[in-house]
Structure 1
Amino acid sequence: MKEIFSGLIVSLDVVALYLLISDVKSRFLLSMWTAILHMLFPIIGFTLGNWMLQILMQWSNIVSSALLFFIGLQIILSSKNAHFSIPIGLLAITASLDTFSVSISFGMLNLQKYYFIASAGIWTFILSYIALYAAKAGISIKSTPFKWIAGISLITISVYTLWEQ
């Protein structure tokens, strides 16, 4: 269950970003590309997280909690995005990079990687497509609450993980 919820959390940051972009011509392609990257980066992150777990077995909960805390804090602090123009591929990569660092923490916690990867990809595709469609349709939804929810959720998971230790 943590994995599915975590997949949803990492997709909220993409929603916040994509709500700001109203002139994307290939909404489906961007959503699909971002979803694939939201699954690829966690595979790399889980692999690195498992490797780090072998090296830092006694420190893994503290390190992963710290990573999640600071990633959540960064998401909250970045809630003041300006409008910008980036090529579609670079935009998908930029929107997906945070899943790499989050998945390192989850790999260190030995969470079920395939559930998280599938959840992150599915949630990201659905929510990013909806966000891009809403931005194109001119529906005004502020992106800041999504960043706050994602950031606070990651911080909460980090504190809970540290508390369970």
Structure 2
Amino acid sequence: MLEIFAASVTTIDVIVVLSLLQLRKGRLVLALWITFLNMVLPFAGFVMGDWSAHLFSVWSHLLSGVLLALIGIHMLLQDDSNDLLKRRLHPTVIALAVSLDTFSISVSFGMLHLNKILFIFASGFLSFIFSCLALYFGRFLSIKNGKVLSVLAGLALLAMGILSCFR
């Protein structure tokens, strides 16, 4: 169950970024590309986390907790200037930028030996649903800057990091 919660927290930023885009064409392709990246990058992160858990077997819970907490703090302190959207980057670059955080988070989950398959499929499914919601109904969601969602996701990751340190 923790894996599904974590997947939903890590894919929240998809709604924020994509609801600000104004695309007419290629929305489904972008959603599928984000879904693919949100499944491949966590798999690579889990492999890296498993490897580093074996390497740092004594410290893996503490290290993964610190990594999660730092990612949460980064999300809380992040300046939401939306430079990606102002420069009109190609949608695949935006998809990669939106999906990269799942790699670093899944490294921590790999170190904690969480259920890899459940997290990867939940992340892929939720990223597809969130991408389609944001791309097709973004103007109706009325998300102005997404700061509230970023703060909530950052606090959730910070709490998960602190709790995993004492696991």
- Please indicate the TM-score interval, normalised by the length of the shorter structure: over 0.9
Look up the equivalent residue of 1:130 and give its one-letter code.
Answer: L
- 1:71 and 1:154 in contact (8 A); partners too: yes
Map 1:31-42; keep pairs closer than 5 Å: 31-42=31-42
Measure the CA separation in 2 of the matches of 1:43 and 1:34. Answer: 14
Give the 3 Å change call, closer, same or farther, for CA 139–15 of structure 1 in structure 2.
Answer: closer
Which segment is superposed worse, 52-61 or 72-81? 72-81
Q: Output the TM-score relative to the length of structure 2.
A: 0.91
Q: Distance in 1 between matches of 2:33 and 2:121?
A: 14
1:24 Cα deviation after fit: 5.0
User: Partner of 1:94 in structure 2?
Assistant: 97
Alignment partner, residue 111 of structure 1:
114
Q: Secondary structure at the match of 1:95?
A: helix
1:154 paired to 2:157: yes
- CA deviation after TM superposition for structure 1 residue 11, in Å: 0.6
Overall identity of the aligned pairs, in % = 34
Checking the alignment, whether the CA contact within 8 Å between 1:24 and 1:132 is kept in structure 2 is no
1:25 is displaced (CA, Å) by 2.2
Structure 1 regions of 5+ residues with no counterpart?
none
Match of 2:142 among 137, 140, 152: 140
Give the whole-Å Cα distance in 1 for the aligned partners of 2:155 and 2:42.
20
Letter in 1 for 2:62: I
Counterparts of 2:31 and 2:80 in 1: how far apart (Å)?
22
Q: CA deviation at 1:138?
A: 5.6
> Structure 2 regions of 5+ residues with no counterpart?
none
Residue 74 of structure 2 is aligned to residue 77 of structure 1:
no
SS at match of 1:58: coil
- Which residue of 2 is the match for residue 44 of structure 1? 44
| 1:23 to partner: Cα distance | 2.8
Question: AA paired with 1:43?
Answer: F
- The number of aligned residues is 163
RMSD: 1.4
Which amino acid is 2:91 matched to? I
CA distance in 2, matches of 1:139, 1:110: 36
The alignment partner of 2:166 has SS state of: helix
TM normalised by structure 1 equals: 0.92
Alpha-carbon offset, residue 19 of structure 1: 1.9
